[in-house]
Amino acid sequence: MVPAAFCRQTARFRAARCASVCRGARRGTTAPPRDRCAVWSQFAVDSAGLHCTRDPPRLRVRRRAALLTLAAIGCRRAAPKDDTRAAREKMVDAIAARWPIQPRVLRALREVPRHRFVPDLPLADAYADKPLPIGEGQVTSQPSMIAIMTDALELTGKERVLEIGTGSGYQTAILAKLSREVFTVEILRSLSDAARARLDALGVRNVRFRVGDGFKGDPEHAPFDRVLVTAAPRDVPPPLIDQLADGGVLVAPIGDPKPHPPQRLVRIRKNGGTIAEETLGPVHFTPLLPVE
């Protein structure tokens, strides 16, 4: 426990520093870290405690409470944002140390705030390398798997990408940073609507949302240079291969969600009339839901 006297002393110091910064800002010497500081520029602090140099004594109690509140929240510049940045950097550094991921993909992971896509979870969970619940019995993949799958797409920034399974929208946001345009299909309207709202709030404008059957893809906007499937069908649905452009790449987990045999992450390349498939490794994903 922190002694009460120490808390009061710290509060007075922070309030004095805040008032000093704000008075300096009026003189044009120092810009206030946050606008709320300006309202308190009339207050001063002396060795006897907190008091106001302008208002009558009867307001002292109210002012004191207000100043202590201000001291508690501080005049720091968006400390929570700094915390999320540090958590994100730590997450990406851990991924980079373990997997040979392209720098462009790592940069996108550093820029997209994962905590905005799982707002009900603590910050430590949001940036942990693990799947997270997103509602409707669904989960979002762990960041390292998102990095691996995105890396496997070999994006250059010019591609039109089809994503099957919008989920929380986090993977969608990563794709949007790395490609020209993203078309994302989600079977659950509630998830699609929530993801759209999150991406709108982040200013993402190169994503088109569709509620529908992921097994059927998005024939209206085909062909696509890249296709990413974020849940596991037993086999790659033929319509998705049909909608893949010549020279395109498709990445998907396939197989039943059982321990044996394990699901596989596969990459398919389409060149002319030839379809080449390679296995990238064992994985475990929730099944891709069909329309019933």
Residues designated as active site: 141
- Report the DSSP beta bridge partners of residue 182: 161, 207
Q: Name, in order, each residue with C-beta under 8 angstroms of 80's C-beta and a sequence gap of 6 or more.
A: none
Contacts of 252 (CB under 8 A, 6+ apart): 164, 227, 228, 229, 232, 233, 236, 240, 265, 266, 268
Cβ neighbours around 139 below 10 Å, total? 17
Contact 241, 268 (CB under 8 A): yes
Distances (CA, A) of 99 to 105, 137, 143, 292: 12, 29, 12, 38
Cβ–Cβ < 8 Å for 166, 172: yes
For residues 205 and 227, is the Cβ–Cβ distance under 8 A?
no
CB atoms within 10 A of CB 269: 15
